[in-house]
Amino acid sequence: MRLLLVEDDRSIAEPLVAGLERQGYEVAWVESGADALNADPGDLVLLDLGLPDLDGQVVCRRLRDRSDVPIIVVTARSDEIDRVALLELGADDYVVKPFGFRELVARIRAVLRRVGAQEADRPTGLETADGRVVVDHRAHQVTVDGRPVALTPKEYDLIAYLVSDSGAVRPREQILRAVWDENWWGSSKTLDVHVASLRRKLGDPELIETVRGVGYRLVDEGRR
């Protein structure tokens, strides 16, 4: 299992690399955001926010835009605004400095187990909503009326979940558990942010209907 550690503080990074290697992980260590974006992300990224060149949130967003690699943020910031922002950028989990090594290893294992289970449960082939929205799971591609739509990994997971039972109302809590995490620790506002982005990218805001007080549903053309 290959990990990418992004940490500019050698006093933290060197013992962390040694400890993770003793746990059986192969660790690549970089000290800047630019090096992180140029490196192979491996199977999981440990990302410090306080980098010397780029803000860690920028690095997190850029990594997530091009890959669905799991990201655990390591931060000295613990306020709610940072946590919500990180989730909206696509982080899978976070630990606050100072942290215990055993806690970090447990979080790494939990995220990797969760990602592995999601991959095993992911359907293959095509799913469609009344022929307009087509999700090709093999190609990891979404089209609307035959037009390819460029989505982030989390946006893809969200539309795929709605398409899997188009026309059905999906409660907010159910969507967060299925698309984000069974033990969701962030604000539910991140769901609204992703729905708003999806509506723009799909080109038809009415495809995703808000059911006030409940959640969202993908509208079948024939049911309008």
User: Looking at beta carbons, which pairs linking 96-105 to residues 24 or more positions away fall under 8 Å?
Assistant: 97/12, 99/74, 101/16, 101/19, 104/16, 104/46, 104/72, 104/74, 105/20, 105/23
User: Would you tell me how many other CB atoms lie within 10 Å of the CB of residue 201?
Assistant: 15
Higher-pLDDT residue of 39 and 56 is 39
| Residue 79, pLDDT score | 56
Strands 2-6 and 26-30: parallel
**Residues 140-179 pLDDT 10s:** 889 998 899 988 878 888 998 898 888 889 998 888 888 8
Residues paired with 68 in a beta bridge: none
Q: Which fold would CATH assign to domain 2-121? A: Rossmann fold (3.40.50)
At a CB cut-off of 8 Å and minimum separation 6, what does 155 contact?
Answer: 194, 197, 198, 201
- Antiparallel, parallel or unpaired: β 215-218 and 170-171: antiparallel
Does domain 126-223 bear CATH number 1.10.10.10?
yes
Which has more confidence, 37 or 224?
37
The answer to whether residues 63 and 36 touch, using CB atoms and an 8 Å cutoff, is: yes
Domain coordinates in residue numbering, the chain: 2-121, 126-223
DSSP bridge pairs for 215: 171, 211
Q: Which pTM value belongs to this model?
A: 0.59
